[in-house]
Amino acid sequence: MSNGFYDFSGQLQQLKQQNLYRSRRVVEGAQAVLLQVDGRRVVNFCSNDYLGLANHPGVVAAFQQAADRYGVGSGSAHLICGHSNAHHALEEELAEFTGRERALLFSTGYMANLGVISALIGRRDSVLEDRLNHASLLDGGLLSRAQFKRYRHGDSLDLQARLAECSAKTLIVSDGVFSMDGDLADLPRLADLAKQHQAGLMIDDAHGFGVLGKSGAGVVEHFGLSQHDVPILMGTLGKAFGTFGAFVAGSDDLIELLIQKARSYVFTTAMPAALAEATRVSLRLLQTESWRRDKLHSLIDRFRAGASQQGLELMNSFTAIQPILIGDSQTALAISSALLEQGFWLSAIRPPTVPAGTARLRVTLSAEHEIEQVDALLDALGKVMA
């Protein structure tokens, strides 16, 4: 094209030179621990399907049966004609599961975070976010047009100092489990600070639901907190639940306000009702089959012990996310490629997803993995990183 605006080749070349260029791989078949990727059979260590429910026969059957009843698409937004009894039942069950008055479904976690933050605060308000929050939380804060500040990761003293500077309505926003580090936010301390400063508190527990807590209700249950302590709770359904979509849970008034004001809820098509029915089954499995969490945590312990014996630099995580810090992006890419050659697929995470100089291998574990597969990965890591 003659129009210089469309000359993107220079930007793409720069990304390649910086080892920040990203490529997609084509997966054949259903999500599983063993995958066929670009024609090669690999053991999958980069999925967020933490409980192995994405291809569970009961979940798949529920989707198929519901598709016969509801069809494939929902046809419209929730506020027009897209809100089915399947959606409504799932919202009620998620509210009960999280110990909250109500829950509200969103099409994706990204849309939930954008919608909630921008609905609750505006130009004259303030939003304070952990520096390592997920991109959707950061974008939600920017989209709100509120005064946007980031506090040092996990640093309650820095947060307290920034709260003291805020005179307007303020919302504190944090991940519950940080997606690239696997560590937990100090929810009790965040809840205390929010109460002291009469600020709102929103927690994104995308990576905690299903994995943490006695019943799998996530990081809030893990810390023994309630709706009173963490009034705004977001969770996704495409990770431990094994399906797709997201929800926000809280008070009746919170949910009613979001129905009225969250633009990413009001102005988008509802998730398919068949997905809602499938998620209802995965929610029951998540609650009744506690062995999945038990097995997952035993695999986490096994991996961490083996990695420690090899001197690998792990991060402070006891969740299914087990990052190995590498530092240099090119080195992380090379190790990831070498592991793929040996039949193990795990992602090299590079800036801007993580801070400069902290490129890493992001190992994610699932209840579907076997001890032998974890041990084989550790052996491969020992050889590649020797």
Residue 1 has pLDDT above 60, yes or no: no
Rounded CA-CA distance 318/300 in Å is 7
pTM, 2 dp: 0.95
Q: How far apart are CA 361 and CA 134, in angstroms?
A: 18
Q: What is the DSSP string of 63-114?
A: HHHHHHHH-S---SBIIIII--HHHHHHHHHHHHHHT-SEEEEES-HHHHHH
pLDDT score, position 39:
85
Report d(CA 129, CA 355) in Å as an integer.
16
> Is 295 known to be catalytic?
no
Query: Residue 88: what pLDDT?
Result: 98
* Rounded mean pLDDT, 54-76: 97
Q: Is residue 275 scored above 80 in pLDDT?
A: yes
Question: What would the two tokens of residue 74 be?
Answer: 């929902």
Identify which of 138, 130, 131, 90 has the alpha carbon closest to the alpha carbon of residue 110: 138
Q: According to the model, what pLDDT value does residue 3 have?
A: 75
Average pLDDT score over residue span 69-78: 96
b/e code 225-257 from CB counts within 10 Å (16+ = b) = bebebbbbbbbbbbbbbbbbbbbbbbeeebbee
The pLDDT tens digits for 306-338 are 999 999 989 999 999 999 999 999 999 999 999
Q: Which of 207, 222, 295, 369 is catalytic?
A: 207
pLDDT digit string, tens, across residues 210-249? 999 999 999 999 999 999 999 999 999 999 999 999 999 9
Give mean pLDDT, residues 109-115: 98
**pLDDT class of 4 with cuts at 50, 70, 90:** confident
How do the domains of the chain map onto residue ranges? 26-50+290-384, 60-288
Q: How is domain 26-50+290-384 classified at the CATH fold level? A: Aspartate Aminotransferase, domain 1 (3.90.1150)
Q: Which one of 126, 144, 179, 366 is the catalytic residue?
A: 179
pLDDT of 37 higher than 70: yes
> What mean pLDDT is predicted for residues 84-89?
98
- For range 355-374, the mean pLDDT: 96
Position 2 confidence tier, pLDDT thresholds 50, 70, 90: low
Whether residue 177 contacts residue 219, with contact meaning beta carbons closer than 8 Å, is answered with: yes
Tell me which of 10-14, 225-229, 255-259 is least confident.
10-14
Mean pLDDT rounded to a whole number for the chain: 96
CATH 3.40.640.10 is held by the domain 60-288: yes
Q: Is 16 assigned a catalytic role?
A: no
Annotated catalytic, 167?
no
β-strands 246-250, 27-28 pairing: unpaired
pLDDT-derived band of residue 385, with 50, 70 and 90 as boundaries? confident
Phi, psi of 102 (to 5 degrees): -150, 160
Name the active-site residue from 56, 83, 87, 239: 239
